[in-house]
A and B are shown apart, each in its own frame.
Chain A
Amino acid sequence: MDLRPEQKLKRRHGRADNRAGREAVAKAAQVTHNGAGMIARRDLRVSVAARDELSPTCFRLTLTSTDTLVAEPGQFGMLTCGDGFDPLLRRAFSFASVARRGNQTAVELLLKEVGRGTGRLRRLGSGETLRLLAPLGHGFALDVAEGERLALIAGGIGLPPVLFAAEVLATRKTPFDLYLGAARAAELLELERCAAATAAVGGEFVLATDDGSRGERGVITAALARRLASGRRWARALACGPNPMLKAFARLAHESGIEAEMSLEEPMACGLGVCLGCVVELADGRVVPSCQEGPVFPASRLAARWWA
């Protein structure tokens, strides 16, 4: 079946910059997109190329497909967890990387085992096939003016889109500082890649753990707050992590007047804007599916409960 085509898609407010970037990417890769600023969504057949343990709870799943996939940091896919009715629904995962490898596309996901779906994914064997609906949603705005820098903030398993952004920014030589936090040292993921990407642009790599077993003791937003208090500023700060972290982040950004974007995680059944399970309330009163208008939102667009 032909999965391309004209679809109706909402345009994102005030994100022409990102849209131009997406179009350029799509053009370069000769990928069909729908003329509304979004590369057409497809249900890709993917197979498990590798599964690597990263921590006591987290693992990396590398999927390959002969289908082309182009995605930007912050976008996500809906992945099946095997055949059968239990678990019933796909799971939403932001990409940690999407790249061409020869005539294949390789997609990296960093996952935390939290239930039946992720438990099943953790036990997949090499070569098993799954379906991945992708690319979905809108990613981070990565463009900055000459001489400006970005701050990237990740908490726990919120790392994937932030790592993706860091590695893309490193390739583009866009300077950034990276803040990575977790409950304890063992749950700090992909440290070498984070360090390498940050070093490539001469950025500061800040670590924090709740128990102080690595880096600064306390939550990562406290580490960010200390830098802000000493006068550091960025053109924009991008974050992904658990909701308490994102709220603290949004509050900091609001108080210090920094443009902020955050990737939200809401329970999601379809990822395509029809189930209306993953809705988020915006400052203008609208209630929108985060799979369509997010999952990355400028903090200023979100309802006040996110930063008040």
Chain B
Amino acid sequence: MSVTCAVRVGALSLVNPVLAASGTFGYGLELAEFCPPEQLGALVTKGLSPKPRLGNPTPRIVETAAGMINAIGLQNIGVEAFCRDVLPALAGRGATIVVNVFGETMLQYLEVLERCEQEHDIAAYELNVSCPNVTAGGMEFGHDPVQLERLTTACRSRTRRPLWVKLSPNAPDLVGAARAAVAGGADALTLINTLRAMAVDADARRPVLATGCGGLSGPAIKPVALRMVWEVHRALPETPLVGIGGVESGRDVAEFLLVGASAVQVGTAIFRDPTAPLRILREFQEFCAEHGIHDATELIGGLQWR
């Protein structure tokens, strides 16, 4: 049985619903031998800032039960180096490229967007307003609906490309943040980013990470992510959602689509297995075939609530 896997996230057509998440797939080419980026629904780049960033001190990562905590601090090569050194090769392969945009201030977000607007071959932007590991920018926009709407509106005015906003599970009012992003002109919402978390070294009586706290990812957070996607989908049924959080299998993809996501991002699973997105896609196709699903879009929002 053939399964049609193409999906749409708003106006953007994707060949399949499995994407590589920001911060887990480099700039798109690093893992090409294991996972050709053009075979993904899309790849989301590491968060790009106007200038290169060195990130946080080490240790930056620690494994926890069924998860890991990271505090990388958005180390990245900067938007200029990405556009100059990476984008041509990535576009040449035919990959669908979503640029994750980060700034410490609104002006910095706009700076990244404006540089990217000079390039062809970028399919969409994902605004990172949810990174828990930086002292300025990121989460502070995502937690305040007023600031978030203002930022989204400003970004909206600079581009006609699809604009996604990646929401924070740490926001005091997730649905409020979602509404603010949509009011500002977001085409889709990505959720969730990592959950603020910490690990403690009881021998040393210190936090394990140099920054004290970081963001939890991996299978441990999947139930939280499903619940949040479902809540936002119920509140904003017309808004396309991109689900992320602990996706490890084709069945996980189906679960996220059922609660309302139009596509999913695979993140931490890539650290375990660089071929994970393609394996997950294959498993998802098998799931659909086994369940008599001809078109993946049949699943989207199809959860039957008791």
A8 contacts B63, C-beta separation under 8 Å: no
A269 to B68, CA, bound (A): 9
**Main secondary structure on chain B at its contact with chain A?**
loop
**Contact of A3 with B by CB under 8 A:** yes
A275 contacts B61, C-beta separation under 8 Å: yes
A1 to B59, CA, bound (A): 34
Residue from B32, B58, B75 in contact with A5 in the complex, judged by beta carbons closer than 8 Å? B32
Interface residue stretch chosen among A13-21, A87-95, A151-159, A218-226 = A87-95
Residues of B at the A interface (CB closer than 8 Å) are 23-26, 29-34, 46, 54-55, 58-68, 70, 72, 75, 89, 218-220, 248, 268, 270-275, 278
B275 contacts A274, C-beta separation under 8 Å: no
A-B contact count (CB 8 A): 107
Residue from B32, B220, B275, B278 in contact with A7 in the complex, judged by beta carbons closer than 8 Å? B32
Q: How close is B164's CB to chain A, nearest CB, in angstroms?
A: 21
Q: How close is A77's CB to chain B, nearest CB, in angstroms?
A: 13
A3 to B274, CA, bound (A): 10
A298 to B72, CA, bound (A): 25
**Main secondary structure on chain A at its contact with chain B?**
loop
Task: Write the A269-299 contact mask toward B (1 if CB under 8 angstroms, else 0).
Answer: 1101111111100000001000000000000
B248 contacts A277, C-beta separation under 8 Å: no
A133 to B271, CA, bound (A): 11
A272 to B26, CA, bound (A): 10
Residues of A at the B interface (CB closer than 8 Å) are 1, 3-8, 34, 40-41, 43, 80, 85-90, 131, 133, 266-270, 272-279, 287
Residue from B26, B58, B60, B273 in contact with A273 in the complex, judged by beta carbons closer than 8 Å? B26
B270 contacts A274, C-beta separation under 8 Å: yes
A1-B67 contact, Cβ under 8 Å, with A8-B32, A269-B61, A274-B30: no
Q: What residues of A have a CB within 8 angstroms of the CB of B65 in the complex?
A: 86
Residue from A4, A8, A43 in contact with B273 in the complex, judged by beta carbons closer than 8 Å? A43
Q: What residues of B have a CB within 8 angstroms of the CB of A90 in the complex?
A: 272
Q: What residues of A have a CB within 8 angstroms of the CB of B220 in the complex?
A: 85
A1 to B66, CA, bound (A): 27
Q: How close is B134's CB to chain A, nearest CB, in angstroms?
A: 14
Max chain B C-beta neighbours (<10 A), residue from A40, A270, A278: A270
Q: How close is B83's CB to chain A, nearest CB, in angstroms?
A: 16
A277 contacts B61, C-beta separation under 8 Å: yes
B33 contacts A41, C-beta separation under 8 Å: yes
Residue from B33, B67, B72 in contact with A276 in the complex, judged by beta carbons closer than 8 Å? B72
Q: What residues of B have a CB within 8 angstroms of the CB of A278 in the complex?
A: 58
A88 contacts B274, C-beta separation under 8 Å: no
A86 contacts B34, C-beta separation under 8 Å: no
A276-B60 contact, Cβ under 8 Å, with A7-B32, A41-B33, A88-B219: yes
Listed by A's residue number, 9 A-B pairs whose Cβ atoms lie within 8 Å are A8-B29, A41-B33, A80-B272, A88-B63, A267-B62, A274-B23, A276-B60, A276-B75, A278-B58
A85 contacts B32, C-beta separation under 8 Å: no
Q: How close is A36's CB to chain B, nearest CB, in angstroms?
A: 12
Q: What residues of B have a CB within 8 angstroms of the CB of A80 in the complex?
A: 272
A270 contacts B274, C-beta separation under 8 Å: yes
Residue from A3, A87, A266, A277 in contact with B72 in the complex, judged by beta carbons closer than 8 Å? A277
Q: How close is B156's CB to chain A, nearest CB, in angstroms?
A: 30
A160 to B129, CA, bound (A): 44
A190 to B61, CA, bound (A): 32
Closest to A131 in B: B273
B54 contacts A287, C-beta separation under 8 Å: yes
Q: What residues of B have a CB within 8 angstroms of the CB of A133 in the complex?
A: 274
Q: What residues of B have a CB within 8 angstroms of the CB of A89 in the complex?
A: 63, 68, 271-272
Q: What residues of A have a CB within 8 angstroms of the CB of B268 in the complex?
A: 88, 269
In addition to A6-B33, A266-B59, A274-B31, 17 A-B residue pairs with Cβ atoms within 8 Å of each other are A8-B29, A85-B219, A88-B66, A88-B68, A90-B272, A267-B58, A267-B59, A267-B60, A267-B62, A270-B274, A274-B23, A274-B24, A274-B46, A274-B270, A279-B60, A287-B55, A287-B75
A269 to B25, CA, bound (A): 13
Closest to B76 in A: A276
Q: What residues of A have a CB within 8 angstroms of the CB of B64 in the complex?
A: 88
A7 to B36, CA, bound (A): 10
Q: How close is B187's CB to chain A, nearest CB, in angstroms?
A: 27
A157 to B66, CA, bound (A): 27
A8 to B36, CA, bound (A): 12
Q: How close is B190's CB to chain A, nearest CB, in angstroms?
A: 19
Q: What residues of A have a CB within 8 angstroms of the CB of B25 in the complex?
A: 274
B274 contacts A269, C-beta separation under 8 Å: no
B219 contacts A272, C-beta separation under 8 Å: no
Closest to B64 in A: A88
A274 contacts B26, C-beta separation under 8 Å: yes
A270 contacts B32, C-beta separation under 8 Å: no
B33 contacts A40, C-beta separation under 8 Å: yes
A131 to B272, CA, bound (A): 10
Residue from A1, A41, A86, A269 in contact with B271 in the complex, judged by beta carbons closer than 8 Å? A269
Closest to B219 in A: A85
Closest to A87 in B: B63
Q: What residues of B have a CB within 8 angstroms of the CB of A34 in the complex?
A: 33
A268 to B58, CA, bound (A): 11
A287 to B66, CA, bound (A): 28
Q: How close is A8's CB to chain B, nearest CB, in angstroms?
A: 5
Q: How close is A139's CB to chain B, nearest CB, in angstroms?
A: 20
Q: What residues of A have a CB within 8 angstroms of the CB of B29 in the complex?
A: 7-8
A275 to B64, CA, bound (A): 16
Q: What residues of B have a CB within 8 angstroms of the CB of A268 in the complex?
A: 61
Q: What residues of A have a CB within 8 angstroms of the CB of B34 in the complex?
A: 3, 41, 43
Q: How close is A278's CB to chain B, nearest CB, in angstroms?
A: 8
